[in-house]
Amino acid sequence: MKVAVVGATGLVGTIMLKVLAERNFPVTELIPVASEKSVGKELVWKGKSYKVHNMEQAIAAKPHIALFSAGGSTSLQWAPKFAEVGTYVIDNSSAWRMDPTKKLIVPEVNADVLTQNDFIIANPNCSTIQMVLVLHPIHKQYGIKRIVVSTYQSVTGTGVKAVQQLENERNGIQGEMAYKYPIDKNAIPQIDVFMDNGYTKEEMKMVNETKKILRDESVQVTATCVRIPVMGGHSESVNIECANPVNPNDLQKLLAQTKGVVVKDDIANFVYPMPLIDANGKDDVFVGRIRADETIPNGINMWIVADNLRKGAATNAIQIAEYLVAQQFVNKS
């Protein structure tokens, strides 16, 4: 099993390598890929040194699977070239997510739509992944009519430059700015660029991706995405209007039985999910503060937290790869 990691030296690529090792993914040959400035350098994985390749070298090696985390333009240019040599590409950028010919996958929700001929597979937005994992069983059981979500997103979602900006500001150091404004002690209500409708690209990703993954265009979604000075994961305040009556206690039990979801909801003992305390370094999605919305029929409020670099990116991608292997798509290719 030859596995290429494209963007291996980046924040998500580094976590991909870590998760591959942790989950004992059956790698017999690792092909780290990065930008030209990193080509020829060595990185250590599972105690062994590997040279960083460029794109052409990686394609020539004909990997079985390529995990991409190198940005949308890179993916648009190179993913098809990997696919042409029979490589299954799992792409973490937004490049292919809304392409009607490509599948957008959260394995616990919709892996069943994958076929042996899906050589480019899209990994959803980090905020979407954690939300739909919780929404999926609710939609099946109660029918979701409308979702109002506000996100509180970690600086790690922007990358190394943003983490450095936060650290610099906390230490009183002048440095390169990832954001237009200071992030320490601040909240920036803009993630990605603004669209013509006044929403940001990140907000519209959540709207469109949620419908595609749940396979239901009738679900209404509206989002506000905010960057805050935290590490460890993204948090979301989610308001759901269901088609059928829903009881918070029943919902708690339903979510407790959902694979990949951990319910932390005991307000009498101040138990609720937090990014640094609960999600940091974990692959689960945590949910709490489950309560009735008393202003509408069949309304529910909840708080969802997950590590955006793991389940929100690297782990979800590797779970897709695990599914391809389990279905023997890779071995047959």
Q: What is the pLDDT of residues 46-79, one digit of tens each?
A: 999 999 999 999 999 999 999 999 999 999 999 9
Kindly indicate the confidence band of residue 333, based on its pLDDT and cuts at 50, 70 and 90.
very low
| Least confident segment among 85-94, 104-113, 280-289, 324-333 | 324-333
Distances in Å between the alpha carbon of 160 and those of 34, 149, 215? 15, 26, 34
**Angstrom distance (rounded) from CA 173 to CA 141:** 52
**Amino acid in position 164:** Q
Rounded CA separation 135/165 (Å): 34
88 and 176 share one domain: no
- The per-residue pLDDT for 271 is 98
Q: What is the pLDDT of residue 35?
A: 87
User: Of 53, 64, 136, 234, which is the active-site residue?
Assistant: 234
| Global pTM exceeds 0.75 | yes
Give the distance from CA 236 to its chain's centroid.
Answer: 14
8 Å CB contact between 282 and 274: no
Confidence of residue 268 (pLDDT cuts 50, 70, 90): very high
Residue 138 sits in the same domain as residue 244: yes
For residue 178, give the CATH number of its domain. Answer: 3.30.360.10
Q: Are residues 11 and 87 both part of a single domain? A: yes
Cβ(303)–Cβ(288) below 8 Å = yes
Grade residue 40 by pLDDT with cuts at 50, 70 and 90.
confident
**What CATH code is carried by the domain that includes residue 82?**
3.40.50.720
pLDDT of residue 332: 53
Judge whether residue 260 has pLDDT over 90. yes
- Taking residues 265-287, report their average pLDDT: 98
Question: What residue numbers bound the domain in which 163 lies?
Answer: 127-308
149, 132 contact by CB (below 8 A) = no
Contact by Cβ (8 Å): 213, 108: no
- Residues 153, 280: one domain? yes
pLDDT digits (tens, 9 = 90+) for 227-240: 999 999 999 999 99
Residue 303 and residue 317 in one domain = no
Neighbours of 233 (CB within 10 A): 32
Q: Both 94 and 132 in a single domain?
A: no
Domain total in the chain: 2
Task: Work out the end-to-end distance of the chain between its first and last CA atoms, rounded to an integer number of angstroms.
Answer: 12
**Could you tell me if 68 and 191 lie in one domain?**
no
Structure confidence at residue 89 (pLDDT): 98
Name the DSSP letter for residue 136. Answer: H
Residues 22, 134, single domain; the answer is no
Report the alpha-carbon distance of residue 221 to residue 36 in Å, rounded. 40
Catalytic position from the list 53, 126, 136, 139: 126
Residues 286/59, Cβ–Cβ less than 8 Å: no
Do 45 and 96 share a structural domain?
A: yes
- Among this protein's residues, is 126 annotated catalytic? yes
